[in-house]
Amino acid sequence: QKEVEQNSGPLSVPEGAIASLNCTYSDRGSQSFFWYRQYSGKSPELIMFIYSNGDKEDGRFTAQLNKASQYVSLLIRDSQPSDSATYLCAVNPPRGFNKFYFGSGTKLNVKP
Amino acid sequence: NAGVTQTPKFRILKIGQSMTLQCTQDMNHNYMYWYRQDPGMGLKLIYYSVGAGITDKGEVPNGYNVSRSTTEDFPLRLELAAPSQTSVYFCASSYPRDSTRSGNTIYFGEGSWLTVV
């Protein structure tokens, strides 16, 4: 079982719609969760992190965490073509050094 | 604001050659990492370091070596390059787990594209 699982996509949404990206993780004790955006040929860049159950909003982005279901999601409101990228979910396990497990990413296409 | 700097950006190696990917960070981060990313795949941890003089293996360490003589530098050595090592390599750094600075997140360099032929 993979530590972090994501649907590889591609997920296609029209411009202006809400894009919903999902991620599940295997270690129930995990405490820190991150969403990274990666444009083709570029390095991952942090969008958001979330530690507590519930929602965390930052501009057009909302991260949602449900520890009981071991589920993290990222909502992108008013999607723009510039949001087209691969979105990586990362999880920080509860013990040991500050290690990050990454999912394989979901490719998002926002159509004009 | 240099952050994490990797060199070279692109390199072509012949099978059996060796090379070193350089990585330096100016954020005074204790932790440094090397990841590889194959096409359409996620990031796999090769090696990591929790401080100068301390390194440990990640998920896919075979064929690689690292050293950490200073806080700033974390070079990755490829010995006897093989086609399976064709990949994009990312160096990254972070604060320790319990730090509340920067959301305890990880910062990446721009990547090094390596092709072994």
Q: Tens of pLDDT along A50-92? A: 988 899 999 999 999 999 999 999 999 999 999 999 999 998 8
Give residue-wise pLDDT tens across range A88-104: 999 887 766 677 889 99
Q: Is A45 on the interface with B (CB under 8 A)?
A: yes
Which contiguous run of DSSP H or E holds residue A4?
strand A4-6
**Res A98: pLDDT:** 72
The CA distance from B41 to A2, in Å, is: 13
Is B101's pLDDT higher than 50?
no
Question: Are A31 and A99 contacting, i.e. CB atoms less than 8 angstroms apart?
Answer: no
Interface of B with A in 75-114 (CB under 8 A): 90, 94-97, 103-111
Q: Is B45 on the interface with A (CB under 8 A)?
A: yes
Do the Cβ atoms of A43 and B48 come within 8 Å? no
Give residue-wise pLDDT tens across range B104-116: 678 999 999 999 9
User: Please, which pLDDT band fits residue B45 given cuts at 50, 70 and 90?
Assistant: very high
Cα distances (angstroms) measured from residue B113 to each of A28, B91, B92, B116: 35, 12, 15, 10
The CA distance from B57 to B49, in Å, is: 9
Cα distances (angstroms) measured from residue B65 to each of A26, A32, A35, B46, B78: 29, 29, 29, 9, 7
Q: Is A34 on the interface with B (CB under 8 A)?
A: yes
User: Please, which pLDDT band fits residue A5 given cuts at 50, 70 and 90?
Assistant: very high
Q: How far is B15 from chain A (nearest CA, A)?
A: 24
Do the Cβ atoms of A43 and B41 come within 8 Å? no
- B31 neighbourhood in chain A, CB within 8 Å: 97-98
User: Please, which pLDDT band fits residue A29 given cuts at 50, 70 and 90?
Assistant: confident
Give residue-wise pLDDT tens across range A30-54: 888 999 999 999 999 999 999 888 9
Do the Cβ atoms of B106 and A42 come within 8 Å? no
Do the Cβ atoms of B97 and A92 come within 8 Å? yes
- A90 neighbourhood in chain B, CB within 8 Å: 106
Is B102's pLDDT higher than 50?
no
User: Please, which pLDDT band fits residue B35 given cuts at 50, 70 and 90?
Assistant: very high
